[in-house]
Amino acid sequence: MNRYERRALLASPTAPAQAAARELADSADWVDPQDADVIIALGGDGYMLQVLHRMLDRRKPAVPVFGMNLGTVGFLMNEWRDHGLDDRLARAKPFQVVPLIATVTAADGRVHHLSAINEVSLLRETRQTAKLEITVNERVVMPELACDGVLVATPAGSTAYNLSAQGPILPLGSNLLALTPISPFRPRRWRGAILTDKARITMRVLDPAKRPVSAVADQHEVREIRELSIGMDRSRELTLLFDPEHALDDRITMEQFIG
Q: What is the 3-state secondary structure (H, E, C) of 96-158?
A: EECCEEEEEEECCCCEEEEEECCEEEEEECCCCCEEEEEEECCEEEEEEEEEEEEEEECCCCC
What is the model's pLDDT at position 62?
81
In a domain, 32, yes or no: yes
Residue range of the domain that includes 220: 100-235
Q: Is 218 noted as a catalytic residue in this protein?
A: no
In the chain, which residue ranges form alpha helices assigned H by DSSP? 15-24, 45-57, 85-91, 161-164, 248-255
Active-site pick, 26, 32, 45, 243: 45
Distances (CA, A) of 36 to 1, 135, 252: 15, 42, 29
Measure the CA–CA gap between 103 and 115, rounded to whole angstroms. Answer: 9
**Do residue 119 and residue 137 come from a single domain?**
yes
In a domain, 2, yes or no: no
**Do residue 190 and residue 244 come from a single domain?**
no
**Do residue 228 and residue 118 come from a single domain?**
yes
User: What burial class does residue 94 get, using C-beta atoms within 10 Å of its C-beta: 0-12 exposed, 13-18 middle, 19+ buried?
Assistant: exposed
The model carries a pTM of: 0.85
pLDDT tops 70 at residue 84: yes
**Do residue 226 and residue 112 come from a single domain?**
yes
In a domain, 92, yes or no: yes
Q: Of 28, 25, 36, 30, which is closest to residue 3 (Cα–Cα)?
A: 36
- Average the pLDDT over 231-248 and give the result: 87
Which distant-in-sequence residues (6+ apart) come within 8 Å of 51 by Cβ?
10, 39, 41, 65, 67
Count: domains in the chain = 2
135-173 pLDDT, tens digit per residue, is 999 999 999 999 999 999 999 899 889 999 999 999 878
**Do residue 111 and residue 230 come from a single domain?**
yes
For the annotated binding site for NAD(+), the residues are: 45-46, 118-119, 148, 156, 159-164
What is the model's pLDDT at position 241?
94
What is the model's pLDDT at position 57?
75
